[in-house]
Amino acid sequence: MLRTLFAAPILWGALLATPVSASADPFYDAALCKPPYTTDTATALYEAAEKLAKPDGSMLGAYVYKLPRALGQDGFRSSEVIFAGTAVGVLIEGLQADALAERYRLTKERSTLLGTATKGYSRALPQDQQPQPDLGIVSIVARESPSLPGKTLLMCEFVLKADQEALDRYEKSRTP
């Protein structure tokens, strides 16, 4: 069934060709799946975050790292990196899901993920960029949630096929 923050395992990209150092710069790219997820790059990002700050583990199933300096691009800002399950992303300042969707060509999600997201957009990476297409799909995602007041989660998410099928069955069972 569904496992972590926003009800799906999340996997994040990082800098594939370049080692991740103890700076905030790679995290925004990771949220945009640049490059697509691998276990090695996700681990390198986690280790880099550990060198920058101590995590806040008060959010169920996730750790949030407050960075020593803000990062961002395209007019969006963040000072927090989030890891959930096997994931890393950034918490964008403000309720920015609509703006992020427009900027990064994301489309409205079919599901509210069991009510955890009040607004959600996503875009799957092209097939040739999917690191494990037999297991699941990697997408760039922007979501707002009451559990993240005043912030928007921007992430690169890997959803297992089995989890997506379970969510689809659940959503279908709720449709009259």
Between residues 128 and 21, the one the model is more confident about? 128
- Taking only Cα atoms into account, the Rg of the chain, rounded to an integer number of angstroms, comes to 15
Between residues 57 and 38, the one the model is more confident about? 57
Tell me how far apart the alpha carbons of residues 157 and 10 are, in angstroms, rounded to a whole number. 4
Residue 58, phi then psi, degrees to nearest 5: -75, -15
> What's the rounded mean pLDDT across residues 91-100?
97
CA 61 to chain centre: 13
Confidence check: pLDDT of 8 > 70: no
Between residues 21 and 80, the one the model is more confident about? 80
- Both tokens assigned to 146: 């009451």
Tell me how far apart the alpha carbons of residues 22 and 171 are, in angstroms, rounded to a whole number. 41
Out of 7-21, 80-94, 106-120, 135-149, least confident range: 7-21
Buried b / exposed e over 128-148, threshold 16 CB at 10 Å, is: eebbbeeebbbbbbbbbbeeb
Cis peptide bond prior to 35, omega within 30° of 0? yes
Tell me how far apart the alpha carbons of residues 153 and 139 are, in angstroms, rounded to a whole number. 13
Alpha-carbon distances of 170 from 6, 37, 113, 159, rounded to whole Å:
15, 27, 10, 16
Confidence check: pLDDT of 158 > 90: no
> Which pLDDT does position 19 carry in this prediction?
37
- Both tokens assigned to 12: 């994040």
Tell me how far apart the alpha carbons of residues 92 and 172 are, in angstroms, rounded to a whole number. 31
CA 31 to chain centre: 6
> What's the rounded mean pLDDT across residues 16-36?
67
> Which pLDDT does position 55 carry in this prediction?
85
Tell me how far apart the alpha carbons of residues 167 and 172 are, in angstroms, rounded to a whole number. 8
> Which pLDDT does position 20 carry in this prediction?
38
